[in-house]
Structure 1
Amino acid sequence: MADSQSNGSLDKVKYIVLGCGSIGYNVVEELIHDTSHVIIVDRDEKRVEDLRDQNYDAIVRDITDPGILDGLPVPEVVFILSSDKNANIEAAKRVKEIYPAAYVIARAIDRLSLNLLEQAGADIALYPQEVFAKTAVHHIRRLHSSRLARKLYHFLSGCEGTLGIVVHTNPDPDSISSAMALCAIGKEASGGKLECRILYDGKIGHQENRAFVTLLDIQMEKITQEIVDECDYLAIVDSPGPSVNNFLSPDTKVDIIIDHHREADEKALESFFTDIRPGMGATASIMTQYLQELDISVDQIVATALLYGIRADTREFSRNTTPQDLNYAAFLLPLTDGELLDKITSPSISIETVDALGDAIKGRRVQNGYLFTNVGYVKNRDTIPQAADLLIQLEGVNTAVVYGIGDDFITISARNKDIRMHVGNVMKEAFTGIGEAGGHATMAAAKIPLNSFSLVRNKEELLSLIIDPVLERFADIVGIGKEEKNEV
């Protein structure tokens, strides 16, 4: 069949597809939904004839021909989709030389050709096997999450009485907002037959967290064993199991566990419903997904709480953030109260917090990029992670470890920028056996009970006696030894 120049009367065309095998044909089928201005170029005469029979604008040319684009309209986008690796690379170079403003999307035949195509000028290089794998995994995750949402809804639909929702000790916006969302799902599923009680222990100390609870008028109760016994069902949010950073004893029967911190242990798996996803940036993201999957109308207060929970736990999407976290935040944004969000994020700071931050700055010592500092005795333990957030920003500091003492615990917070180290794993290894510890690659915490020392009056002196051998574990694991730390 002789080469024909179809559509030559047009000065421009939206799409040109070079190579129309099975992948190219499927791409064309999608493009036709957008516009009829698609020109297909392929060297197989029979294939071109078949395409023309289907009313496609197709011509016969070889992708390796230097004049393959001669006489064709100026394209906005060129797809290079043949099964010939070298031909695709050369075609990408040629298209960019002749039409530098055109977008080029090219098919890679193997992983190596991904970089070669980009070097040749392709704006996007796709390896079909990799695209399929990612799409398959994405779909199975969506399917799994959808089934989990329906399983949770089905369980709650059969509940009557009281659901006690336990948040972690010294709760933050992520745990509190997640409890609010679970309550909303429970009320919807049960037709109003289920009453929810949000239960916490410890303190709500951080000024933003206090503003969050006050401005959104969130109803929470200090947990006691008597209240736990009054509940017909128990749920834990933002904590992986009973007794793990929460009031409940290890043998407590729990019906629902939803968290994003670490893999489920055997006790957690004994619950009727367990959804623990360490890859997510916030538990509030998981709860938002449930609301989406179940098509439950989201109240403005709940939406505001969830969005702030995601923002707070990802530190404004700068740490441990996944594309899903961003998608769920985008879903919540138009449903929220922007004025309330502004007020929550601009609270006043207590004098105690300012003094503790000052002590942390003055007392800092740095060795090989590791900063250690003692804030002494604090009534508000949230001052310690606030100090860690501040000090990790100092020049030359890759890891900040801040510690202080309260009435019942020594609290240690760590922040990390060193991509070679997972600070959550280091903290867990260093302090497991003497307290609770763990976290993410960039942020972690440990809590060491004082036990028999809790009645000691001079807490700061007690801290100085206990903390050195405790921190030696951390120093040995990260390899900085017992050398004297240099003051900065």
Structure 2
Amino acid sequence: MESLNTMRSYTIVRMPEAVQNVSKERIKYMIFGCGSTGYNVAEELEQENEDLIILDKDEKRVEDLRDQKYEALVRDLRDPNLMEGLPVPEVAFILANDRDANLAALKTVKTRYPATYVIARATDPVSVDLLQQEGADIVLYPQEVVARTAIHHIRKLHSSRLALRLYDMLAAWEGTLCIVTHLNPDPDSISSAMALSMIARHASRNKLNCRILYEGDIGHQENRAFINLLEIKMERLTPQILEECNYIALVDSSGPGVNNELPRSTRVNIIVDHHKNGEHPSTVADFVDIRPGVGATASIMTQYLMELDIPVNKSVATALLYGIRADTRDFKRNVTPQDLNYAAFLLPLTDSDLLDKITSPSISQETVEIIGNAIRNRRLKSGYLFSNVGYIRNRDALPQAADMLIHLEGVNTALVYGISDQNIVISARNKDIRLHLGNVMAEAFGPIGEAGGHATMAAAMIPLSYFSMVKEKEGLLDLIIDPILKRFSSIVGLDDEDKQ
């Protein structure tokens, strides 16, 4: 018998306690690696009372987790038999602070259960690509997430301060505020003007008389229905009205003379826009908020209303929601998470019946004829479609024709053009991801008119200053359109194809 002095020491190993969910065939969530990131995820899931199993190689950590009533097991993420005896997870969070361990666990899970949705943590920029290659559905790089979150909060703080500064400025004004939309205003521009008018009246306690002014035409049947059904009061901008304005605001336009007919020397007080424009206004406004990263100016105005906690009536809410929808093409173009958030805020405040009526108006006979002309006169070359619709009174029919033609087989880019009393008008659509249509249109037609837009849709307007007295407009268009379109063809490389 050994004496007390010579007695060997033994380590008593306690077997892991049985875990309730291990007997299940499937489980909602499984966390692989429970450091600080994994623990925070576990806490969030626990609050939602979701089924959860945690795997970690650290015995002490697992014991602590069990003390907190989590179902946890000691497992090495590098072990190929990691999943033996465990239920199939619907979602796997692989969150260890070890690149090789995360990669090994990802391979094991995806090999055994390809349908499991995996969210994996990257420990460095290189592992982002490695995890994606191994099949991770979402890769989180904490440093990048922190940076994005910080930028998001900074931007939110900045926009909050902008909203307050705008409100305080409007509160100090009295007289007439003229809110000018861009030329041939669309729902985004009009709804933004409505929202600014609401903010101005609220801030000034109705001391400001707000007038919404526009130039050009409102030809699109949806835009006309939009104005009529919401009973939006708009006036044509004239020099006389301009003299009556104590203050001038531009919405959906980046400065005087930029997509509007204000003289470039006009003193403007407020500019709110979401378009990136290379032209710089010759005057400096008291308040400028231009955000190219936002899908619609109506989104910016909605944010102001939210930040300022101003009650939004049904008409303004319906207008703003339709403005965001229209400018993002039903949330399919240039839409951001912020646009979706603002739309979600507006949705319960809108009049759904009015919205249905706005989006389902009758089509005018002229619009039908222009679309018919566009179809008949189309010319297709190497994926580029050109169509001359002749003389037009309703320029808003052109984008509708372009929207239709871009869906024809073999068409990547469509340009539909016509001539009015004062301008050659071009509307274009694009689905070639290699081409930024707005930039090409600006380069081709900007020097001789106004042009620009987005990657998938753009427009141009070329004045007929020297031909305004010519009566035969369609004949004039036939004479001068080829040299004008040659600019576009040269930029996109169609001329090079002709030379080959």
- Tell me, yes or no, whether TM beats 0.5: yes
How many matched pairs? 485
User: Deviation per CA, 1:412-463, whole angstroms, max 9, x where unpaired?
Assistant: 1111111111111111111222111111111111111111321211111222
* One-letter identity of the residue aligned with 1:250: R
Alignment of 1:199-210 (within 5 A): 199-210=213-224
Q: Distance in 2 between matches of 1:181 and 1:80?
A: 46
Q: 2:466 aligns with which of 444, 447, 452?
A: 452
Alpha-carbon distance change, 205 to 77 in structure 1, aligned in 2, over 3 angstroms:
closer
Secondary structure of residue in 1 paired with 2:211: strand
Q: Distance in 2 between matches of 1:73 and 1:4?
A: 20
Alpha-carbon distance change, 384 to 16 in structure 1, aligned in 2, over 3 angstroms:
closer
TM-score for the superposition, normalised by structure 2: 0.89
Alignment of 1:69-88 (within 5 A): 69-70=83-84, 77-88=91-102
> What's the counterpart of residue 300 of structure 2?
286
Alignment of 1:71-110 (within 5 A): 77-96=91-110, 103-110=117-124
Q: 1:245 aligns with which of 235, 259, 263?
A: 259
> What's the counterpart of residue 320 of structure 1?
334
Secondary structure of residue in 1 paired with 2:262: coil
Alignment of 1:278-427 (within 5 A): 278-427=292-441
> What's the counterpart of residue 16 of structure 2?
5
> How much does 1:233 deviate?
0.8
User: Quick check: 1:366–1:372 contact (8 Å CA) kept in 2?
Assistant: yes
> How much does 1:16 deviate?
3.8
Secondary structure of residue in 1 paired with 2:447: coil
Alpha-carbon distance change, 2 to 152 in structure 1, aligned in 2, over 3 angstroms:
farther
Secondary structure of residue in 1 paired with 2:100: helix
Q: Distance in 1 between matches of 2:67 and 2:115?
A: 32
Q: Distance in 2 between matches of 1:367 and 1:104?
A: 46
User: Deviation per CA, 1:2-46, whole angstroms, max 9, x where unpaired?
Assistant: 464235244356644322333233333434433496554333345
Alpha-carbon distance change, 392 to 14 in structure 1, aligned in 2, over 3 angstroms:
closer
User: Quick check: 1:90–1:120 contact (8 Å CA) kept in 2?
Assistant: no
User: Deviation per CA, 1:212-254, whole angstroms, max 9, x where unpaired?
Assistant: 1111111000111111111111100111110112121100011
Alpha-carbon distance change, 71 to 149 in structure 1, aligned in 2, over 3 angstroms:
same
> What's the counterpart of residue 444 of structure 2?
430
User: Deviation per CA, 1:50-107, whole angstroms, max 9, x where unpaired?
Assistant: 6567666555443223444555566554422222223222223334566677544322
Q: Distance in 2 between matches of 1:3 and 1:426?
A: 72
Q: Distance in 2 between matches of 1:88 and 1:66?
A: 12
Which sections of structure 2, spanning at least 5 residues, go unmatched?
1-11
> What's the counterpart of residue 41 of structure 1?
55
Alpha-carbon distance change, 3 to 278 in structure 1, aligned in 2, over 3 angstroms:
farther
> How much does 1:264 deviate?
7.0
Whether 2:282 is the aligned partner of 1:271: answer: no
* One-letter identity of the residue aligned with 1:5: P
Q: Distance in 2 between matches of 1:167 and 1:479?
A: 36
Which segment is superposed worse, 73-82 or 233-242?
Answer: 73-82
> How much does 1:380 deviate?
1.3
Alpha-carbon distance change, 47 to 343 in structure 1, aligned in 2, over 3 angstroms:
closer
* One-letter identity of the residue aligned with 1:222: R
Q: Distance in 2 between matches of 1:348 and 1:54?
A: 64
Which segment is superposed worse, 425-434 or 249-258?
Answer: 425-434
Which segment is superposed worse, 381-390 or 162-171?
Answer: 381-390
Which segment is superposed worse, 156-165 or 67-76?
Answer: 67-76
Alpha-carbon distance change, 166 to 91 in structure 1, aligned in 2, over 3 angstroms:
same
Alpha-carbon distance change, 29 to 430 in structure 1, aligned in 2, over 3 angstroms:
same
Secondary structure of residue in 2 paired with 1:168: coil
> Over the residues paired in the alignment, what is the CA RMSD in angstroms?
2.7
Alignment of 1:16-35 (within 5 A): 16-35=30-49
* One-letter identity of the residue aligned with 1:281: G
Which sections of structure 1, spanning at least 5 residues, go unmatched?
none
> How much does 1:138 deviate?
2.4
* One-letter identity of the residue aligned with 2:421: D
Which segment is superposed worse, 312-321 or 412-421?
Answer: 312-321
Q: Distance in 1 between matches of 2:128 and 2:481?
A: 52
User: Quick check: 2:222–2:358 contact (8 Å CA) kept in 1?
Assistant: yes
Which segment is superposed worse, 72-81 or 139-148?
Answer: 72-81
User: Quick check: 1:3–1:60 contact (8 Å CA) kept in 2?
Assistant: no
Q: Distance in 2 between matches of 1:440 and 1:287?
A: 21
* One-letter identity of the residue aligned with 1:6: E
Q: Which structure has the larger Rg over C-alpha atoms?
A: 2
> How much does 1:284 deviate?
1.1
Whether 2:226 is the aligned partner of 1:215: answer: no
Secondary structure of residue in 2 paired with 1:26: helix
User: Deviation per CA, 1:355-412, whole angstroms, max 9, x where unpaired?
Assistant: 2221111111111111111111111111222221221111111111111111111111
> How much does 1:136 deviate?
2.6
Alignment of 1:143-222 (within 5 A): 143-222=157-236
Alpha-carbon distance change, 469 to 66 in structure 1, aligned in 2, over 3 angstroms:
closer
> What's the counterpart of residue 477 of structure 2?
463
Alpha-carbon distance change, 74 to 384 in structure 1, aligned in 2, over 3 angstroms:
closer
> What's the counterpart of residue 5 of structure 2?
none
Alpha-carbon distance change, 33 to 401 in structure 1, aligned in 2, over 3 angstroms:
same
* One-letter identity of the residue aligned with 2:392: V
* One-letter identity of the residue aligned with 2:393: K
Q: Distance in 1 between matches of 2:496 and 2:118?
A: 57
Q: Distance in 1 between matches of 2:20 and 2:222?
A: 65
* One-letter identity of the residue aligned with 2:425: T
Which segment is superposed worse, 104-113 or 48-57?
Answer: 48-57
> How much does 1:476 deviate?
0.9
Q: Distance in 2 between matches of 1:50 and 1:386?
A: 64
Percent identical pairs in the alignment equals: 65
Q: Distance in 1 between matches of 2:344 and 2:230?
A: 20
Which segment is superposed worse, 392-401 or 143-152?
Answer: 143-152
